[in-house]
Homo-oligomer: A and B are copies of this chain.
Amino acid sequence: MRIAMLSLHTSPMEQPGSGDAGGMNVYIRNLSLALGALGHEVHMFTRTADESTSSEVSPAVFMHQVQIRPGAQLSKEELPDIIDEAASLLKEHMAGLNIDIIHGHYWLSGMVGLQLAEAWKIPLVVSLHTSAAAKEFESGIPEPEERKEAERRLLAGATRIIANTPVEARQLSRFYSVDKEKLDVVLPGVDHKVFHPDQNKLRRPLGADDLHLVYAGRLQRLKGAHVLIEAIALARAEDPTLKITASLFGANSGSADYDLPALAEKHSVADVLSFFGPLQPAQLAAVFANADVVAVPSLSETFGLVAAEAQACGTPVLANHVGGLAYAVNDGESGWLMEDCSPHLWAQQLLTLARNPAMVTQAGHAALEHSGEFTWERAAVTSLASYRMASTPAPTPSQQL
């Protein structure tokens, strides 16, 4: 198959952990590479303010950066204005590639894909990754009505829809009245060649050492790192002999008054917290592998790729029971899911983990095993099944008998 992957809002080649680049970039890049490895031709398209370029990133997998609004730094909020412009520019760039199917990621690329699919009479598959209605539902913060309305039209017009998890599929069906027959689920994968256990790790064989926690992700309220900091403060207040440390990796994204170092000072836990910038995947894997527990305190998460990556390093995950994290973590086996993001609940769990090193070790083995379910090869094969379904003409009543 010749597949066009549209990711206008952020480049699949960008590094996650800063700006708007997160798990979605990783998803699109790895899905494209895995489809290529299975013998398909994949063309990724993204927007650039500079000159247009095209390159082959692996055999039969191409990255096209298309110049849209030259020189303009567009904020996330301004991107909806360029949908029509993007569609007509992409139409030029895609001409002659004989694309069989368009896979649009995030609602912006979905809207562009809808125009191209209609023009060329080819199927459109859409992955929203994050939807306004679900975000609103989980965080309680209202989202713009126009975006919700655009998403509703997009989902109605797409040939098929790919959700990242069964939770997302249910949300789309509920919030946008999507026909369940059109919905497929493709769980993300993990690059196990990068994210793997450290053979020499035996940090706390006797529990003599500190419980070392790692957080990796953008520093913004929705990702909940403040919950972790408050929980550490509460746990230390309850047990002053508690040995616990935490390292946080990621750049501030969004509001400047989300100041975690200041919060750490305020709660008198700055001595056990370290803040670092975002890491490259290989460095992140080493950090995960040598942590006791990776904390994912997100208040909303479509899947939570970081949780899958941590587990692939043989490290259990402590997370909230929200969105796709319920699928990323096997609660009580490969990690622990907190019923809500209350720092009190988190503090109790930190105390339990610090006092039970064998429980943490055991969960690490289960975490590695659970992470085996998340391969990009599986994601590619499952996506192909969706593409094939989208490409099959619906049977006429006489055929269905």
Residues of A within 8 A of B (CB): 1, 37-39, 184, 192-193, 196-197, 199, 206-207, 312, 314, 355-359, 361, 365-366, 368-369, 371-373, 375, 377-382, 384-386, 388-389, 392, 395, 399-401
Q: When the two chains form the complex, which single residue of B359, B361, B384, B401 contacts A356, counting CB atoms closer than 8 Å?
A: B401
Q: When the two chains form the complex, which single residue of B193, B312, B385 contacts A368, counting CB atoms closer than 8 Å?
A: B385
| CB neighbours of A369 from chain B (8 A) | 184, 381-382, 385-386
| CB neighbours of A401 from chain B (8 A) | 355-356, 358
A359 to B206, CA, bound (A): 58
A371 vs chain B, min Cβ distance (A) = 6
A130 to B246, CA, bound (A): 47
A288 vs chain B, min Cβ distance (A) = 15
A60 vs chain B, min Cβ distance (A) = 13
Instruction: List 8 contacting pairs A-B, 8 Å CB cutoff, sorted by A.
Output: A37-B193, A38-B193, A39-B193, A359-B400, A369-B381, A372-B377, A372-B379, A373-B378
A22 vs chain B, min Cβ distance (A) = 24
A400 to B357, CA, bound (A): 7
Q: A381-B192, A381-B369 are in contact. Are A361 and B206 (CB under 8 A)?
A: no
A189 vs chain B, min Cβ distance (A) = 9
Number of copies: 2
Name the residue of chain B whose CB is nearest to the CB of A207.
B399
Q: A192-B381, A193-B37, A193-B38 are in contact. Are A389 and B365 (CB under 8 A)?
A: yes
Q: A192-B38, A377-B375 are in contact. Are A368 and B384 (CB under 8 A)?
A: yes
A258 vs chain B, min Cβ distance (A) = 36
A314 to B382, CA, bound (A): 11
A358 vs chain B, min Cβ distance (A) = 4
| CB neighbours of A400 from chain B (8 A) | 356, 358-359
Q: Are A358 and B399 in contact (CB under 8 A)?
A: yes
A377 to B190, CA, bound (A): 10
A314 vs chain B, min Cβ distance (A) = 7
7 further contact pairs, Cβ within 8 A, besides A197-B384, A365-B389, A368-B384: A39-B193, A314-B385, A358-B399, A368-B388, A372-B378, A373-B378, A378-B378
A361 to B381, CA, bound (A): 17
Q: A37-B193, A361-B395, A388-B314 are in contact. Are A378 and B381 (CB under 8 A)?
A: no
Q: A193-B39, A356-B401, A399-B206 are in contact. Are A365 and B381 (CB under 8 A)?
A: no
